[in-house]
Amino acid sequence: MMNYWLLLIPVISAFIGWVTNWVAIKMLFHPKQPVKVLGITFQGIFPKRQDQFAVKLGKLVSEQLLSFNDIESKLTNPANLQKMMPMVEQKIDDFLRIKLADTMPMISMFIGDKTIEKLKTAITNELESLFPALIKNYTSSLRQELDLEQIVTEKVKNFSSDQLEDILYQVMAREFKFVEIIGGVLGFLIGLVQVAITLLTA
């Protein structure tokens, strides 16, 4: 009869291991408001540390994930600028051939295709060299007006506890489930060790 009870030990240990890790994960988010039990205050780690989490995330986003230097570098990259030039050339061509004729018909009468091509090339080249400086000035101005760190920090601080929990579960659902399973597996293995020790010392 004793042997049957011994077989239950790994199962019970696995259940305890799983429940322990499940409770630990839940305690990351609950209770959302401070609760006092026997004079000890309990609160979920993320609700309790939400402000500190917001500050750290704000710094991470502004300094490493989405810095203005990276944005400026991408926008002023010659390859990216070249992607815009066909549209710019088309707009200049439309202006010289259509809009100029509508607004200043006398001048357009003396401008032929060769002149239009020369003007288009000259304007396009000038704009191509001007764009990097314009973008740098714009991003510099934007950097002063938009404090990414402050924006992200305030946004995260203003998240409700439910929103924060939903976001983290969307990102880490598999990891949380893995931790629960590992708790069960380790509990089962510990149970087997207990059974082995019991049998060897019996």
- The pTM (predicted TM-score) of the whole model is 0.53
C-alpha separations of 127 from 50, 86, 113, 138 in Å: 47, 12, 21, 15
CA dist., res. 196 & res. 149, Å (int): 56
Residue 40 β-bridge partners: 37
Q: Dump pLDDT digits (tens) for 130-180.
A: 888 888 888 777 776 777 778 888 888 887 878 878 888 888 888 889 999
| 128/112 Cα distance (integer angstroms) | 24
Write the pLDDT tens digit of every residue in 14-63: 999 999 999 988 888 888 888 888 888 888 888 888 888 888 888 887 77
DSSP labels, 148-181: HHHHHHHHHHTS-HHHHHHHHHHHHHHHHHHHHH
Q: Cα(176)–Cα(132) distance, rounded to whole angstroms?
A: 46
Q: What residue segments make up the domains of the chain, in order of their start?
A: 2-201
Cα–Cα distance for residue pair 191/37, rounded to 1 Å: 32
Longest dimension (CA), the chain: 112
